[in-house]
Amino acid sequence: EDECKKLFVLKPLYQRVLIVFGGPLANFLLAFVIFFSIYTFVGKDFTPAVINEVQKDSPAMVGGLKQNDIILEIDGNEVKSIMDVSKYITMSTDDIIDFKVKRSYDEFILKIKPDIVLSEDGLGNQINKRMVGIKLGAYNNEINHVKLGPTQAIYHASHEVYYVSISSLKYIGAMIFGKADTSQLGGPIRIAKISGQVAEFGVLAFISMMAYISISLGLVNLFPIPLLDGGHLMFYAFEKVLGRPLSQKTQEGFFRIGMFLLISLMFFTTFNDLKDLGLFK
């Protein structure tokens, strides 16, 4: 009897849920620990984002952005540093991006429609990039890089994990509905390539990238697709509602669907990876 109790399938429902959820949770916790450590021992940038230049006839100029504007928010997300501007523009999935700026003593909300331009990222890879046509600088040329205490580090690390998770889900949703570029979806080959490129920028950049990959793995693993942890959690939800597990035949049907979806995703991401390497034109 004691041996039977140790069998996973015979454990109470809540225990099975906790065990299965532990995998994705570990991914999020790893990312949190990485961000927390960076903010505590290395520091976080809080340099205000000031527009040094607005390019002629750019979306920024058309939308009303001006030189010396201080960017306060993008799509409701507070801009705490220059780095936040690029991140929020890149992660936005809407056709229009809302900029909240401070100009002298007044604050304005301006709507900017970015251009989608084939450009290079910081690693030299070709990507479709959202461009608004501004160049940024530090306020009064003062760089504000601060090592955070435990409380602040916990807050900012939690916020980073939350923001990346929500933004990733929005981007995936946009891809499903054809509103985002599916060519940006990559697999192991692209991850290995980018990992090597990022490693050239130093250990800190590489560790930071590992945190973002860990978040992505946690999210993917929570998708309600059989064979993934999220699929098992979906089965447990059915079990809770019905008062009994789904029949073996029904579960096998779901597993076949899950296998088809995962294999299709694998082929699609591999195709994107090979195209990125120049094998397909």
pLDDT tens-place string over residues 122-172: 555 556 678 888 888 876 666 777 899 999 999 999 999 999 899 888 888
Q: What pLDDT does 1 receive? A: 45
Checking if the pLDDT of 277 tops 70, the result is: no
Checking if the pLDDT of 281 tops 80, the result is: no
pLDDT tens-place string over residues 86-100: 888 888 878 899 999
Name the CA dihedral angle for 142, 147, 150, 155, rounded to a multiple of 10 degrees. Answer: 40
H or E stretch including 97?
Answer: strand 97-103
pLDDT tens-place string over residues 171-186: 888 777 777 666 666 6
pLDDT tens-place string over residues 217-251: 999 899 988 888 999 999 999 989 888 888 888 88
Chain center to CA of 133: 23
Calculate mean pLDDT across residues 191-200. Answer: 63
pLDDT tens-place string over residues 20-65: 999 999 999 999 999 999 999 998 888 888 999 999 889 999 999 9
CB of 23 within 8 A of CB of 231?
no
Report the alpha-carbon distance of residue 69 to residue 54 in Å, rounded. Answer: 10
- Token digits of residue 253: 């049907």
- At residue 56, what are phi and psi to the nearest 5 degrees? -65, 135
Q: What pLDDT does 266 receive? A: 81
Report the alpha-carbon distance of residue 220 to residue 185 in Å, rounded. Answer: 13
Q: Report the Cα–Cα distance between both ends of the chain, in Å, rounded.
A: 62
Q: Which of 127, 133, 128 shows the shortest CA–CA distance to 97?
A: 133
- What architecture is domain 45-146? Roll (2.30)
**Which residues lie below 8 Å from residue 32, measured CB to CB, with a gap of 6+?**
157, 158, 161
Name the CA dihedral angle for 75, 77, 78, 83, rounded to a multiple of 10 degrees. Answer: -90
Q: What pLDDT does 94 receive? A: 82
Give the amino acid at 159: H
| DSSP string across 102-168 | EETTEEEEEEE--EEEEEE-TTS-EEEEEE--EEEEEGGG---EEPPPHHHHHHHHHHHHHHHHHHH
Q: What pLDDT does 91 receive? A: 80
Calculate mean pLDDT across residues 105-122. Answer: 81
Q: What pLDDT does 11 receive? A: 80
Q: What pLDDT does 99 receive? A: 93
Report the alpha-carbon distance of residue 239 to residue 228 in Å, rounded. Answer: 17
Domains of the chain, residue spans: 1-43+147-281, 45-146
